[in-house]
A and B are shown apart, each in its own frame.
Chain A
């Protein structure tokens, strides 16, 4: 047996023993944190075991608690997890965004302090980038941090902070230098939210949910040791983290299309249920059929593209082309919900109660939620700007 075959067998055995039955069914995923809540006792066991093994972050170095797996080994792990229908043990901004940035830019002490906690889901992280006056023009941000002895004192406001009301800590962009030139005075720091100087206020979305907040800093105290990289040099880290965020979001668009064992896509199956078929088993409404087919094709082409970009990506992680994935993936996802609504007619437009089924109501809410996909993590327009300038080299 080759090493990889060995690894597959060991992985199978380990999962067999350690993945609790409840976690082999679809369901919600834990976000961990100091005050972690679990919808089922098995969820806690699963997080604990996967975290110890480092398999919540399979390719991160072992010395920081990661799995230390190679790309090939990780592929095997993912296949084996998929094979038993295991849900992820942990979801977090720490895994998708902060961790990769810390691995690249943080000091040894900082890595040892923060990365193992991300791997084991001990801390729930949120992202403090956007401000009321600084959205797309992120670098114009004005939340201020002033050094006072061993601490920074932070004042200002963040907005659209996803899950701030559940979070333990926030990775934050603050201004430590002058406002102009705007990219030069920014620092990247980690702020504990469990202190009197930090307040959060939830904001409600058009979907009725409230997944994000306003975050206020009033003389919040941040130890100097929580500054990542050099003072006033945070913009490089900020941009790098955005690339990770964008490639993560483009990956989420994948579950929307892709290929399964069945030939027919979920979208087409649903459309068939609502509009029926003609004598040749073709989707009854030819206009809708064309839209579904076009969407299926583009989803497939997109998932092949993510695969190809993954193969082409050497060790350096995502690049400016992550903007392409973010742009295309989120536009595809929005379109998918539009097509679903079109298939469902009035049944896709219920707010609550009868005569709508719970699935229908969920689709409607997800349709509303999907509108944020092309805004969060940098809007479609901003990503098109990035492609134009960084990838195509078009002038300012």
Chain B
């Protein structure tokens, strides 16, 4: 396994960096936040990203994708993470595309994947139901009532659920209190958010991105709306691992940028007649952060590779990456604010955005503690 980008991947990363600097610097995020609309991202920007092949970055070429793999997507996410760019990259290009590609039948793939690749269709995964990521522990269910399948339950903290054209809903195959059914099985359904019985409510979070609660009140669905077999737990796990690694790449980018801005500030800001970066108390903390960032880079790169190479250790890699990314971004975002002094806690200054994003990103797809525990379980202790 190589932990450095090849020429093609490096080119993609350079393109992404230029694109983001030109089209979506942090001021772009600030404008969106101030607008406070429900989408929380720019559709125009997403169209441009799709034109670059990023919406279909995990999609096979026969469905209109560019099939660049996780290493490619990771390179793009790191760059968008640097500038805190809100976009459906994770909800659609990663989650939606992967779930449909891995679980979907030929009709679904032919119908949906090209639309995703073109940037015309966005998706959201409706999975979690509580304040913590806990994919197995859900009570939303979908069972046959008379002629129809009926979906019932409540999902929360759904990423990009308000802007999505299509919801991918994970449900039990039996009512939660039904003891007879072996309850470990889960199905996925493709649900039009405009369907009767679907009620979406915005949740306003500190990172100003798009989250919502979705209530499914006796929503009628068809067999054809099922994505994959009656039990897709394996596929959900696989795709969640991709998502954990993808968001880790984004978090790495955010941590690197917060760090770079802080180092620059240490060189520029003068107190006691010299740059504050000459004080050893700050230097050592900066050097320690540098070390943690280096470890995080390697963990993320290793994990991205593990997916593309279908390593038999990819599950542990996912937890390794998400744990390191969570810990490091938390460390760096805290230190960044502290080392900026008073301006660090003002809204006018960008550095606080990283702190706010850090904590939400840590919770998405499992916090650091969640992954620490998961890593230990996977390592047999």
Contact = CB atoms under 8 A, between A and B. Distances in A.
B10 to A, nearest CB: 12
Contact of B320 (A265, A289, A300, A307): A300
Interface stretch (B61-69, B84-92, B280-288, B357-365): B280-288
Given A385-B283, A392-B286, A298 B380 contact: no
A293 B377 CA distance: 9
A60 interface: no
Given A328-B295, A394-B266, A293 B286 contact: no
A292 interface: yes
A308 interface: yes
Contact of B278 (A263, A292, A395): A395
Interface stretch (A43-51, A98-106, A276-284, A344-352): A276-284
B290 A391 contact: yes
B375 A394 contact: no
Interface in A274-311: 277, 281-283, 289-290, 292-294, 296-298, 300-302, 304-305, 307-309, 311
A376 to B, nearest CB: 19
Interface residues of A, number: 47
A302 B294 CA distance: 9
Among B280, B294, B377, chain A packs the most CB atoms within 10 A around the CB of B294
A366 interface: no
Tell me what chain B mostly uses at the interface: helix, strand, loop, or mixed.
helix
A265 B376 contact: no
Interface stretch (B70-78, B107-115, B232-240, B298-306): B298-306
B296 interface: yes
Contacts of B275: 394-395
A292 B284 contact: no
B199 interface: no
B321 to A, nearest CB: 9
B267 A268 contact: no
Interface string B342-377: 000000000000000000000000000000110111
A293 B263 contact: no
A293 B283 contact: no
B4 A308 contact: yes
Nearest to A380: B284
A312 interface: yes
A309 B275 CA distance: 31
Nearest to A259: B313
Contact of A268 (B287, B296, B373, B381): B381
A359 interface: no
A118 to B, nearest CB: 31
B144 interface: no
Contact of A311 (B3, B284, B376): B3
A297 B2 CA distance: 19
Among B267, B299, B301, chain A packs the most CB atoms within 10 A around the CB of B299
Contacts of A79: none
A168 B297 CA distance: 43
Contacts of B296: 301
A283 B263 contact: no
Nearest to B373: A293
Contacts of A321: 294
B349 to A, nearest CB: 21
A265 B376 CA distance: 10
A30 B312 CA distance: 38
Contacts of B278: 394-396
A381 interface: yes
Contact of B2 (A269, A296, A311, A395): A311
Contact of A265 (B294, B299, B379): B379
Nearest to B378: A263
A393 interface: yes
A321 B293 CA distance: 13
Among A293, A296, A297, A384, chain B packs the most CB atoms within 10 A around the CB of A297
A304 B379 contact: no
Nearest to B374: A293
Interface in A83-118: none
Contact of B299 (A264, A269, A301, A394): A301
A71 to B, nearest CB: 13
Contact of A264 (B274, B288, B301, B381): B381
B294 A305 contact: yes
B320 to A, nearest CB: 6
B283 to A, nearest CB: 4
A271 interface: yes
Given A305-B297, A385-B283, A393-B267, 5 more contacts: A263-B316, A297-B320, A324-B287, A388-B280, A395-B275
Kindly list the 9 A-B residue pairs having the minimum CB-CB distance in the complex, ordered from nearest.
A388-B283, A387-B287, A304-B298, A308-B3, A301-B295, A394-B277, A384-B287, A305-B298, A293-B376
18 contacts: A268-B380, A282-B376, A283-B376, A283-B381, A292-B376, A300-B299, A304-B299, A307-B298, A311-B3, A311-B4, A324-B291, A385-B283, A387-B291, A388-B283, A391-B290, A392-B283, A392-B290, A395-B277
Interface of B: 2-4, 263, 266-267, 274-275, 277-278, 280, 283-284, 286-288, 290-291, 294-299, 301-302, 313, 316, 319-320, 323-324, 372-373, 375-381
Interface of A: 259, 263-265, 268-269, 271-272, 277, 281-283, 289-290, 292-294, 296-298, 300-302, 304-305, 307-309, 311-312, 321, 324, 327-328, 381, 383-385, 387-389, 391-396
